[in-house]
Chains A and B, each alone.
Chain A
Amino acid sequence: MASAIEAENLVKTFGDVRALDGVSLDVPEGTVLGLLGPNGAGKTTAVRVLTTLLQPDSGRAAVAGVDVLKHPNEVRSLIGLSGQYAAVDEYLTGRENLQMVGELYQMSARDAKKRALELLEWFNLSDAMDRTAKTYSGGMRRRLDLAAALVVRPPVMFLDEPTTGLDPRNRLALWEVIETLVEQGTTLLLTTQYLDEADRLAHDIVVVDHGKVIARGSADELKAEIGGERIEVVVHHPDLVPEAVAALTPFAKGDPAVEKNTRRITVPVSGGARVLADAIRELDARSIEIDDIGLRRPTLDDVFLSLTGHATEDEDAADEGGAAAKKGRRGHGKDA
């Protein structure tokens, strides 16, 4: 598949800060790349370079095969950008905002007006379209901003933390919009601090920290990489624990852990749901009464923790844990 977005060894420094320290990306046409990382990791800088807003110190990038540094204006007519902060004019109405963007994309006034109305309807902003954006809620502004990015039906879109600051309902609604766009063939680069967001929307995930790519792969690959798939069983009576451990040992990929007081047994496994089904059958055959059983997969939070030694939201821990975490880091085989 052809690449819609390519970046090779992008470096961008601000004084002493290496915001991008050799980032390479490759997003095949029609797929979603989730750029995942904590605050200050370099996500916005990467988006700004790829959308022609910022010149990198070195490296090269292309969008839809067009060189970003050599032909920025051509790139601009192929992309839609919804930045980290909604880029709408507060003193213009929703309709005027979209119409202006359409006209600046060189549409005729009539076409821009028509397109604005379509988008306002799709984003449920028709009722508010003649009010100034100043009166809009955060969610409405986000939607207007996303609509502005969609004016020319761009084949490649960049969304920088599209759901940060949104309530869960608006967040879900925005996810649905994004999924529709992707279904219809849009290539998307999405940055996020939310692991569940990347998990749900992205085909491929690139984890960045301190301007460097520290891991890449699909959500499943990243989870598989740190392993840690396990079955958790809670037996009905403490006396059942030894027999349950015996029943589960054939499936175990390591030593089972037992928490006596909660009657919980945790067994590392590999093989997913099939192993879980086998385990349930085995426990049932031995008539061991259980209160609860489940397959626990690591979340992307676990992935992040294992890669960087700090959780995603924890800025301070980033620096303290940095050195220790580096030793534990495991590079991923798949490279751009």
Chain B
Amino acid sequence: MTTALPDAAIGPVPVVRRRGAAATLHDSWVVAKRNLRRMTRIPEIVVFGLMQPVMFVLLFSYVMGGAIVIPGAPPGHDVYIQYLMAGIFAQTVTFAVAGASAGIAEDMTKGLVDRFRSLPMSRAAVLTGRTLADLVQTAFTVVVLALVALLVGWRIHDGVLNALAAFGLLLMVGYAFSWIGALIGLSVRSPEAATSAGLIWLFPLTFISNAFVPVSSMPGWLQPIAYWNPFSSTVQACRSLFGNQIGPVPDAWPMQHAVLVSIGWSVLITVVFSWLSVRKYRRAAG
């Protein structure tokens, strides 16, 4: 530090003038790059994120698969895993909530967020950069999970294009849910609390659905809730697109229009929660 400055200490540096959406996209990408780099430095996060769904596949298909009977199908492991995978995929992408909530909460408690807030960058970029990085992680997890599922007997029965559409839909849902995570992360302000707060409500959401058992087996008053659950329409949409549907699709309207309903929910959640999150981030004075 005793050497002279290599350059005058003050004076303009060359900058690229970006405005509006271009600036937000650029800054989000820079923050996303940062978050992706962090994931490669802390691979445990990605690995543990993978282990949970893989374990679910193995436990549900081998341990419980024989006992669960899907109407219109013979019991057995090979049949149940066809039914199960759409649910596991949907559950995996919605767990992106926990990654986003813990990540944002950690960023907010560390001094780094002050650096971001003192820079002439897009106010939304810290959050979009996080959700974009989570999207990449989710895509990676889904690919690995699909490979594991193929190994234990899961099959696509309705063509590659439809399967790709299902994966696209899953990523869209995962992206939407990571915005819920962002809002939770901004609200709790402690990474530990954020992890629990991010996960706890996902259990009723994923279990009061068609993910693991048919909704027709639930009490009557619970059935409409389960059918309108955004999680159920995603599961139903994937099940149909993968060609994994066993027997007729339930009569409920959201099940008959599952792809549409799932996209609708995703767009709605993304719009509402990104708006709430960015507003909260702007106001967070701490």
Proximity bits, B48-76, A CB within 8 Å = 1, else 0:
00000000000000000000000000000
Given contacts A92-B37, A103-B30, contact A121 B112 (CB under 8 A): no
Min CB–CB distance B56 → chain A (angstroms): 29
Proximity bits, A80-109, B CB within 8 Å = 1, else 0:
010111111101100010001101111110
Residues of A within 8 A of B9 (CB): 150, 153, 180-181, 184-186
Within 8 A of A (CB), among B115-158: 115-121, 125
Residues of A within 8 A of B5 (CB): 122, 180, 184
Q: CB distance B14 to A81 under 8 Å? A: no
A52 at interface, CB cutoff 8 A: yes
Min CB–CB distance A112 → chain B (angstroms): 9
Q: CB distance B10 to A53 under 8 Å? A: no
B2 at interface, CB cutoff 8 A: yes
B16 at interface, CB cutoff 8 A: yes
A143 at interface, CB cutoff 8 A: yes
Q: CB distance B111 to A86 under 8 Å? A: yes
Given contacts A76-B120, A92-B34, contact A186 B10 (CB under 8 A): yes
Proximity bits, A114-137, B CB within 8 Å = 1, else 0:
010010011110000000100000
Residues of A within 8 A of B125 (CB): 104
Which chain B residue shows the least CB distance to A96? B37
B204 at interface, CB cutoff 8 A: no
Residues of B within 8 A of A148 (CB): 115
Q: By DSSP majority rule, is chain B's interface helix, strand, loop, or mixed?
A: loop
Within 8 A of B (CB), among A37-90: 48, 51-55, 73-74, 76-77, 79, 81, 83-89
Interface centre among A88, A100, A106, A176 (most CB of B within 10 A): A106
Q: CB distance A91 to B6 under 8 Å? A: no
Partner of B13, one of A51, A55, A91, A115: A115
Tally A residues with Cβ within 8 Å of B. 55
Which chain B residue shows the least CB distance to A118? B6
Q: CB distance B120 to A77 under 8 Å? A: yes
Q: CB distance A111 to B38 under 8 Å? A: no
B1 at interface, CB cutoff 8 A: yes
Q: CB distance B118 to A118 under 8 Å? A: no
Q: CB distance B27 to A180 under 8 Å? A: no
Q: CB distance B118 to A81 under 8 Å? A: yes
A152 at interface, CB cutoff 8 A: yes
Residues of A within 8 A of B12 (CB): 152-153
Residues of B within 8 A of A217 (CB): none
In the docked arrangement, what's the CA distance between A185 and B10, Å?
7
Within 8 A of B (CB), among A289-311: none
A22 at interface, CB cutoff 8 A: no
A177 at interface, CB cutoff 8 A: yes
B192 at interface, CB cutoff 8 A: no
Residues of A within 8 A of B7 (CB): 118, 153
Which chain B residue shows the least CB distance to A109? B30
Partner of B1, one of A84, A108, A122: A122
In the docked arrangement, what's the CA distance between A131 and B120, Å?
27
Partner of A91, one of B4, B42, B114, B120: B42
Min CB–CB distance B9 → chain A (angstroms): 4
A155 at interface, CB cutoff 8 A: yes
Which chain B residue shows the least CB distance to A75? B120
Min CB–CB distance B128 → chain A (angstroms): 13
Q: CB distance A83 to B117 under 8 Å? A: no
Given contacts A91-B38, A186-B9, contact A105 B114 (CB under 8 A): no
Which chain B residue shows the least CB distance to A53? B117
B285 at interface, CB cutoff 8 A: yes
Q: CB distance A76 to B1 under 8 Å? A: no
Residues of B within 8 A of A76 (CB): 118-120
Residues of A within 8 A of B11 (CB): 153
Chain B contact residues, CB within 8 Å of chain A? 1-18, 23, 26-27, 30-31, 33-34, 37-38, 41-42, 110-121, 125, 285
Task: A106-B17, A106-B26, A186-B10 given; name 15 further pairs at CB < 8 Å.
Answer: A53-B118, A79-B118, A86-B111, A92-B34, A100-B30, A100-B34, A104-B116, A104-B119, A105-B13, A106-B121, A118-B6, A121-B6, A122-B1, A151-B13, A185-B9
Q: Mind listing 9 A-B residue pairs with CB under 8 Å?
A: A54-B285, A84-B111, A96-B37, A100-B33, A104-B121, A106-B17, A123-B1, A152-B15, A184-B9
